[in-house]
Amino acid sequence: MIVDVSEIFYSIQGEGSKIGYKAIFIRLCGCNLKCPFCDTKYALSCKNPMNAHEIYEKISRFPAKNIIFTGGEPTLKDNFMAYFMKKYNNYSYFLETNGTLFPKKSINLFSHIVVSPKMFAINLDVLKSLIKYSISIEFKFVVDENFTKELELMEELGLKEATFQPVWLNDSMESYIKKTVRIIEKLKDIPYNIRIIPQIHKILYGQKKGV
């Protein structure tokens, strides 16, 4: 089975509850959304076909057992992910998704799923199904200083906790830090268990790929 792969790299997870853990990232090509703040536009329409064995040969060189399928939007390749995880089941698999498509073939093969809903493209049915059928799940929102809609969605989904990640647009390091502090201060009085995690990969590596 063949899939288009943007990049495969070994790094640490910089987001969500698994932050800091070593992991192998498989970034698949293609996405069903066009987010204005996307920092992986190079993965939206790339063409780099690889078969499952070629991918396994590459990931087997790295000293890690956690594999993260990311994108783009990896659930577009639901069949491939299910095939790969069943064939190479000596790894723990994780998914990063925008929550607009339900991966019915692979859903029960992921140890953990991070859902990052985009407020202009909410699919409540899919989000509720992900919550219902995932083995382990968390929600991560990329937010600006007005996060009313994100809080409303948390209420509608019955979420008591989430990660908020201040969005990095055309910020300098100084302006991004100040924005993050303002968001922290606004969240102090919010009755939810919300973790604030800055976009660590941008702070450490800037716009560099494969990190």
| Alpha-carbon separation of residue 41 from 25, 56, 71, 109, 113 (angstroms) | 16, 25, 9, 27, 22
78 annotated as belonging to a binding site for a ligand: no
Residue 117 is assigned to a ligand binding site? yes
CA distances from 116 to 94, 174, 187 (A): 14, 25, 19
12 is in an annotated binding site: yes
14 is in an annotated binding site: yes
Please indicate if the annotation marks 49 as binding a ligand. Answer: no
User: Based on the number of CB atoms within 10 Å of its own CB, is 63 exposed (0-12), middle (13-18) or buried (19 or more)?
Assistant: exposed
Q: Is 29 annotated as a binding residue?
A: no
Which CA distances in Å does 195 have to 10, 100, 127, 138?
25, 23, 20, 11
**195 marked among binding-site residues:** no
What distance, in Å, lies between the first and last C-alpha atoms of the chain? Answer: 26
Q: Is 38 annotated as a binding residue?
A: yes
- Which residues define the annotated binding site for S-adenosyl-L-methionine? 37-39, 72, 116-118
- Which residues define the annotated binding site for Mg(2+)? 40
- Which residues define the annotated binding site? 12-14, 27, 31, 35, 37-40, 70, 72, 116-118
- Which residues define the annotated binding site for substrate? 12-14, 27, 70
- Which residues define the annotated binding site for [4Fe-4S] cluster? 31, 35, 38
